[in-house]
Structure 1
């Protein structure tokens, strides 16, 4: 019958449509990897024969609910929470046909971060070359850079007056001077798409002179100390001038005055830290009221096993003793294995003695105990005898110049006195 034919035809058409469901395609503009804060548009396209209108359903992996029924869905000022996999599907607005679900398309949202590094070294001598390198990883092109120094005030950055010469990502100093000592940071920005990063990580750059006018005295006199201990640092100026204070740059990038610490106090040129914690690890130095920085010392605060090593560089030919100390035993000495630059030097010893130090002994030292753990690494610096002689020679020159100046002044005084006496005698003779 006619009715039976119509029913069969209707079933056949619908069956074919069901087995040939169109598959949507998802596109993301401007890109699948965008910056935080950008605007992103998701679009669902369904290609099929005939002039068919569709209604849409959008899904995000991890959720079964529909978050939009539009062909295009806009995400304004995206954050990392918007990142994920997106799919869509459709159904005919005037019919019963439904599409398949589209393939998932992944949206990635990240905040470009400027990363600062130093080449070749952070610790320099006057005249050494150094380059600060600022990079934005994963987004390598189209950036310009600005350069800053960090002050003690929290999150306060001063733009370098010649910041523009490091616009290519490299800020190079061909001959480092004492004035270049400081804590540096950089920032990157680009026009398309418009984005400005936060300030980068910080890097301490230290330039040392030949003969610093002040020394940093550390008590206890070692580069490693236990947690919950008391630490004292004092600026010793041979000329007895005042105005020196202790400052520090911690491992987590904080630049601080001793007086600003909750557990610290500054009395004159002496800084005292009560009950040390691991975050007290960092570089400490003496700084004058005019901003001169001298005599940096690396201090490591650690719980458990520490290495007792000298604060100041060791001179060639000197006697050196390194001890392994443990916080929770009395006496504190601990028998452990002794390493230099990753190689075992001596095992099961409480201390290691180097009777005559040479340049070959320079390196990183540490102890390792099978149950108590491993001490932090300490760099032992060896100063050549020639350095001592040059320092002595420069001081001797200053002493000789002082003596010569005094002698010349005395000679001039005597000469004037003799001339006056001679003139007086001549006048009396004529009279």
Structure 2
């Protein structure tokens, strides 16, 4: 009897656990960090697929973009389980994203509602990162500084979504003017970090006026990293990539772009750091870079270099030049037509434009009736004279 009762209780418990697992897999959603549906060019964005309560029941995740399964063709898009990470946003990243979670029990699948992301053309306030790099070794110091607000420099909050899925917030104090007047630096306080694994993740600043762009920082316990600029660089500028290692002499370092070895003739070395300079950056220089020792025993994680077409100030001047050129194209033909049309009035000399009555040519008076009579009389007299001559002198 006891055995039957125990078996019944175990069966009920198993059924409850299965139902609970199925229930827990019915609700899922995609969260975006930094929060919001508007993302900015060049920044880093993280999408996370969350199943309510017990994600331990999830067997696998499948990501979708525009309802199509994700395929790892874009090196800027990194997918790992429940995370979809965009290293550097471009205009092509706008769209709808969703994920599907498959649970262990009964192979239940649940798909989230799509999240629509739009890419903004506006340049957001940018936080400052020193040194300007996406990767750093543990123990290095780095500083993060929120941008300056036009109304209140003390209103910024630094947000950090760490690699252990923890949201952290730190208020940032501003420097106010001293009593009695003085110069206001209008800059928020720079926060100094000593890099540990927990400091990896996304950083951005929030304010009542909006938020700054987000940047991704990776802190490595390894022996070698490649430091590329954390923010987009502009075409025409000069960029230096730093291959940094902890110990040993590794002067023979090879650089790679998108998995292919690249020329390092422009590289130079110092203590623990090998530099590679890219002069006059073009859009073709954008890509995933890494460095490795010649024996390939040390190899850095990949680091993305983002390139923007042009500086904002150069872009404004470009529009000014284009507008001026359009105006010239319209004015030149109009000026030529006016000169041709009014040339007889603007460039006429004394011979064709009299300035006084003395210079004017004499007018020919019209013939009167008396003039006509005199002419007719003269003609009749000449005919009579001719007849008289013939009579007096026949044969003439």
TM-score by length of 2: 0.50
Tell me which protein shows more strand as a share of its residues.
Answer: 1
Tell me which protein shows more helix as a share of its residues.
Answer: 2
Which protein has greater RCO, CA pairs closer than 8 Å, 6+ apart?
A: 2
TM-score by length of 1: 0.46
